[in-house]
A and B are shown apart, each in its own frame.
Chain A
């Protein structure tokens, strides 16, 4: 009833988790049956170990939060040698978010992940707002976005999802550019660039001054962008941005997302993804829907 396809990926249901909010899955194993997820996207992985940004790295804002983690991670080698072997037995789609500062770094990481049998896809992160070099720089310019995608396409042979930033004038232009360059799917939205000031201390909350806004506050923007992109490209769209309930997930599905990712909501209720899967089942039953694909893109 709930199974969907994103390119070659078969998902038990459309519910996945967003990179950077779910660690390597293990952190949530006490709360969530990981194999009941359609998939999960592991933490952004770069060519070598990164310490990320100085703290403070987060601030709470109305119905949302700002983060400036800056891709702290152990590097691709550590992922392949250690983390992968701890999670590869899980019967779900484990997707690695691939990040970098240069086209060479993206290609290096992607080609190493390509070797891992149980990783059926990568999510190419050309949209991180919290790193000085690369990241969002690639995702805000259609030519650069196309260039990094076509180079990665040469070395990566499985499902290639490209994660897009909302911090652009026309997200459709970027989506079309990466589709033409060989992407199998796009996911959107990454965080929105934001800022908050501690007026008592008379300084920004974040060490980096600006950071990425996530949570329910960004949801209407994300729904609008998913709707625009889903009508403009032929490849499947994965929707995310502020999803916290089954109704939120349904909004994204109805405007054209084939699957969704849950991010910040995992922090508020670590078991929220299971509730969303249950809620989708319940919705289908209540509305006499036999196949969730019947409501995807109805708007």
Chain B
């Protein structure tokens, strides 16, 4: 069930100059959040920002009743959110959207490909997959090492591979050029810049590997009512907020071939 809740910020971590993470809790039981689902947060105290901002859920701790949001500073809304500190409140509508399919069979293998802020939802996903004994390879990319906001957090949940455009860390080049990308997997998940996701989707389609992409778009309602955040799919326009943000590429040929 979706709900509106005032969370407290329990922790704030700055991750390089462009990213920060907020750990939220409200002292009670949280609604379950599936990997790939997102929240819409209210930005208060800004003259320019009226609409909520959609933010993907980076991590969930069900026992503690907390969730972590990883946020990239991109505009007025996220800049204002960056000013929040420990003890401040954040009004959140959650959980929203259709997340990743995570019910893989034990001993299957999955590749998780993330770039930039798109790395955010993959941590929660890798934890859930690890708990199901899925063997995970986590492949993260960025233009430079500084633009990969989190890395080591993934170590307990699978094999970690890095690709940077400038070679400042890991393989020099794009994620799809990393040797680990060409290995065989039962499932590929990806979230990041659109050109990266399209390249991943095209390759997965060619290799006949099941693949899910997590899209991003400007949103208003977040619940599939206003139809502002649509994407092209093989079934016509679909809402990123409700039908997505995660889509199986078997319905996305039009999108990734464009």
Contact = CB atoms under 8 A, between A and B. Distances in A.
Interface of A: 20-23, 27-28, 30-31, 43, 51-52, 55-60, 62-65, 67, 69, 72, 215-216, 264, 266-271
Contact of A65 (B2, B51, B236): B51
Contacts of A58: 218, 220, 226, 228-229
A29 to B, nearest CB: 9
5 contacts: A22-B225, A23-B226, A51-B237, A55-B237, A60-B50
B221 interface: yes
Contact of B222 (A65, A67, A267): A267
A268 B7 CA distance: 16
Contact of A60 (B3, B42, B51, B237): B51
B78 to A, nearest CB: 13
Contacts of A52: 227, 230, 237
A60 B47 CA distance: 12
A249 B42 CA distance: 22
Contacts of B223: 23, 27-28, 270
A21 B3 contact: no
Contact of A267 (B3, B220, B237, B242): B220
A27 B225 contact: yes
A64 B50 contact: yes
Interface of B: 1-4, 42, 47-52, 93, 217-218, 220-231, 236-237, 242
A267 B224 CA distance: 11
Contacts of A43: 225, 227
B225 A31 contact: no
A69 B50 contact: no
Contacts of A23: 221, 223-226
Contacts of A22: 225
Contact of A28 (B3, B51, B220, B225): B225
A23 B50 CA distance: 20
A67 B228 contact: yes
A55 B222 CA distance: 16
A268 B42 contact: yes
Secondary structure type dominating chain B contacts: loop
A61 B21 CA distance: 27
A250 to B, nearest CB: 21
B52 A27 contact: no
A126 to B, nearest CB: 20
B225 A69 contact: no
B238 to A, nearest CB: 10
A280 to B, nearest CB: 21
A43 B237 CA distance: 16
A266 B221 contact: yes
A67 B237 contact: no
A116 to B, nearest CB: 21
A69 B227 contact: yes
Nearest to B217: A55
Contacts of B224: 23, 27
A55 B47 CA distance: 26
A35 B93 CA distance: 22
A62 B48 contact: yes
Contacts of B230: 52, 55, 57, 72
Given A58-B228, A72-B227, A30 B51 contact: no
Given A52-B237, A268-B42, A21 B50 contact: no
Which 4 residue pairs across A and B have the least CB separation, nearest first?
A23-B225, A58-B228, A30-B2, A27-B225
A266 B226 CA distance: 10
A216 B47 CA distance: 12
B50 A65 contact: yes
B218 A20 contact: no
Contacts of A27: 221, 223-225, 242
Nearest to B220: A267
Contacts of A267: 51-52, 220-222, 226
Contacts of A69: 226-228
A23 B224 CA distance: 7
Nearest to B48: A62
Contacts of B237: 51-52, 55, 72
A117 to B, nearest CB: 25
A103 to B, nearest CB: 26
B5 to A, nearest CB: 11
Contacts of A72: 227, 230, 237
A266 to B, nearest CB: 7
